[in-house]
Amino acid sequence: MQVSDPIHLPCPDMAGMANPDPKKLERSCFLLQKLREKHGIKKRAKAQSKPMTYTCTKAGCIEPWGTISNGEPY
Task: Show me where the domains of the chain are located.
Answer: 6-69
Sheet holding 55-56, edge to edge: 55-56, 61-62, 68-69
Q: Reply yes or no on whether the pLDDT at 46 is more than 80.
A: yes
**At residue 23, what is the residue type?**
K
Q: What local confidence, expressed as pLDDT, does residue 72 receive? A: 63
| Residue predicted with more confidence, 59 or 27 | 27
Give the total residue count for the chain: 74
Residue range 62-68: mean pLDDT, rounded? 79
User: Is the pLDDT at 9 greater than 80, yes or no?
Assistant: no
**Nearest Cα residue to 25 out of 1, 42, 7, 44:** 1
CA distance 6 to 12: 13
Say what the pLDDT of residue 40 is: 92
Per-residue confidence band for 38, with pLDDT thresholds at 50, 70 and 90: very high
Q: Look up the pTM and report it.
A: 0.42
